Amino acid sequence: MYIRDIHAEKDLRVLRRPVRENPLGLFTTIISSPLRSFPLLQTSHIPFILDIKDESSETELGTLRGHLARANPQSKAIIEETTTKATRVLEHDVLVLFQSPVHAYIPPTFLSETKPKTQKVVPTRNYAAVQVYGKATVYIDSKSEETSANLNSQIDALTRHMEMNIMKHTGEDGRPKA
């Protein structure tokens, strides 16, 4: 949907919250496969961790960390691109879309306040989403200590975030505290 500027949130500190509360993002890449073995545009659902060094910063974008299974066709396309071009950074920007679990249809009758002014009302939707664009750095060498450390750190952070912040399992053996 088209988002009018008046409805677009621009404060990065505010935008971090829905990313953390709804960490399952849609990871979209555009990768031209020389062998045409994969679609140009691919999207996968991936849980992400958002790393921010200074939470009070109004300008820090932070870093999103996530991982894909090697069997995922999108992973295969990423591996093909990074190995053929001998780089760890994907050529094109990626898009990660985070959506709020709550959304609603708004019928035109609910918009009666604007009708006297414009005589125009149409149905719409009320929703929240955050679009994140940027470069993806890829860690694919399973024998590399850097890759192992990155993956272990990401999985540990994601597990802690999901269990403590999302599921509120902070007690012994992952059970909620009494």
Long-range CB pairs of 45-52, under 8 A, 24+ apart, other chains included:
46/96, 47/23, 47/158, 47/162, 48/19, 48/23, 48/24, 48/96, 48/98, 48/158, 49/23, 49/154, 49/157, 49/158, 49/161, 50/16, 50/19, 50/20, 50/23, 51/157, 52/16
Query: Quick one: pLDDT at residue 16?
Result: 95
Query: Quick one: pLDDT at residue 176?
Result: 62
Question: Which tokens hold the place of 176?
Answer: 């909620």
Between residues 128 and 173, the one the model is more confident about? 128
Query: Quick one: pLDDT at residue 175?
Result: 62
Between residues 7 and 62, the one the model is more confident about? 62
pLDDT tens profile 67-106: 999 999 999 999 999 988 888 999 999 999 999 988 899 8
**What pairs with residue 130 in β-bridges?**
98
Query: Quick one: pLDDT at residue 73?
Result: 95
Tell me the percentage of the chain whose pLDDT exceeds 90: 52
Strands (E), the chain: 24-30, 41-47, 49-51, 63-65, 94-106, 124-134
What is the average pLDDT value for the chain, to the nearest integer? 88
Does residue 2 register a pLDDT over 70? yes
Does residue 12 register a pLDDT over 60? yes
pLDDT tens profile 23-72: 999 999 999 987 778 999 999 999 999 999 998 898 999 999 999 999 99
129 in Cβ contact with 67 (< 8 Å): no
Question: Which tokens hold the place of 117?
Answer: 């002014």
Give the separation between CA 20 and CA 130, rounded to whole angstroms.
11
Query: Quick one: pLDDT at residue 126?
Result: 87
29 burial (CB, 10 Å; 0-12 / 13-18 / 19+) is buried
